[in-house]
Amino acid sequence: MADLTITTRAGEHIRISELRGKVVILAFISKAACHTTYALELLDLIVLEIGLTHVAGFACVVDLERNETLREYAPFTIPVAEARRREIAEYIGVSMAGFPLPQFLVIDRQGRHRLLLLPRGEDFWETVNNFRMPIEAILDEPIAEPAQQPEVQV
């Protein structure tokens, strides 16, 4: 499976595969769209309500211009990073042409892509509930035990 590396404002590179063991929520956002703040508020609230010990949430700005710096998105608690559209499209297995923003990817503890969500709901709180319910269902799944290594007899 392909991996995705996102880069934070501080220049830290985070490989999503390194987060295996946690449920990860990635919000892919635009740097300029009117829905960006809404998406950040949505992800921030879900991560805070579910708890940082259970999920890792990141926002990822898609397609900054060459040499453009990632601006600060305060007062959100979730880290905001950036990555290229082509890399994200390959990672989630979608066409670059049909890549609406914002879009949320939920990855389970084993690193499998489980949900690709677009915000939907009559109001903000209905949208929060529409996101939280499937994420909580993934969190409720039993954690797979690591495979036992056979004992080597000498």
Q: What is the pLDDT of residues 35-61, one digit of tens each?
A: 888 888 999 989 988 888 889 999 998
Most distant CA atoms of the chain, gap in Å: 66
Quick one: pLDDT at residue 151?
A: 65
130: nearest Cα among 118, 142, 140: 118
Per-domain residue ranges of the chain: 5-139
Q: Are 137 and 149 in contact (CB under 8 A)?
A: no
Q: Tell me the pLDDT tens digit for each residue of 117-152.
A: 888 888 888 988 888 889 999 999 987 765 565 666
Residue 9 pLDDT > 60: yes
Q: Which CATH number fits domain 5-139: 3.30.43.10, 3.90.550.10, 3.30.470.30, 3.40.30.10?
A: 3.40.30.10
Amino acid at 69: T
What would the pLDDT profile of 60-115 be if each residue is shown by its tens digit? 988 766 666 777 777 788 888 989 888 998 998 888 777 788 889 999 999 999 98
pTM over 0.75: yes
Residue whose entry in the numeric block shows the structure tokens 């670059």: 96
